[in-house]
Structure 1
């Protein structure tokens, strides 16, 4: 499903469709896309405190906008998969991570 959506977004960027929300985002550029990613990420956090239906909806919105961002920046899903494969099976200790207060 994610691969299909990514492919559709890539096609939409290459072949714009008038009136499309996706093309609106591409036309507005990186700053607008980043604003939407941030907005959706915040909404996921709030939804997680509320109910599962809202969490599913907001997570779907975030994934969509993240994929728009990847297309905009020319990052392939293959690049993301390769990065995740590099991390697979690696054990990470909490002490190796930045503390939330340090971010």
Structure 2
């Protein structure tokens, strides 16, 4: 078990985003902007789904790591700290999932039906 946290990754992303594009993939992503990073996040999400459905545990872990990394880069570019996401998760888990979904307004869920 590792003690590595999302906060650790957030710090690494911030440091590497400030580095030279010649030294850092994260800096190159930052330079291309949030729309590009969002596209990469979508690609990694699909790859994670495919791994979950049809590949082994090692591949699921690898694709999940890629997805989390790109999510943290996107959050960094939007100036949203991981702590804000964790605070929202804490709020949501203070009640059952069904109660939490029922409490959402149509705007909060994007106006879409959820399973």
Check if 1:21 corresponds to 2:25.
yes
Which 5+ residue runs of structure 2 have no aligned equivalent? 103-111
Long gaps (5+) in structure 1: none
Structure of higher RCO (CA pairs closer than 8 Å, 6+ residues apart): 1
**TM-score, with length taken from structure 1:** 0.85
Give aligned pairs, total.
99
Q: Does 1:51 align with 2:56?
A: yes
Under a length normalisation based on structure 2, what TM-score does the superposition of the two structures give? 0.77
How far does the alpha carbon of each residue in 1:1-54 deviate from its partner, in whole angstroms, 9 at most, with x for none?
Answer: 2211101111222x3223211111000001110110000000001001221111
Query: Cα distance, 1:68 vs. partner?
Result: 0.3
Aligned match for 1:4, one of 3, 8, 15: 8
Higher helix proportion (structure 1 or 2): 1
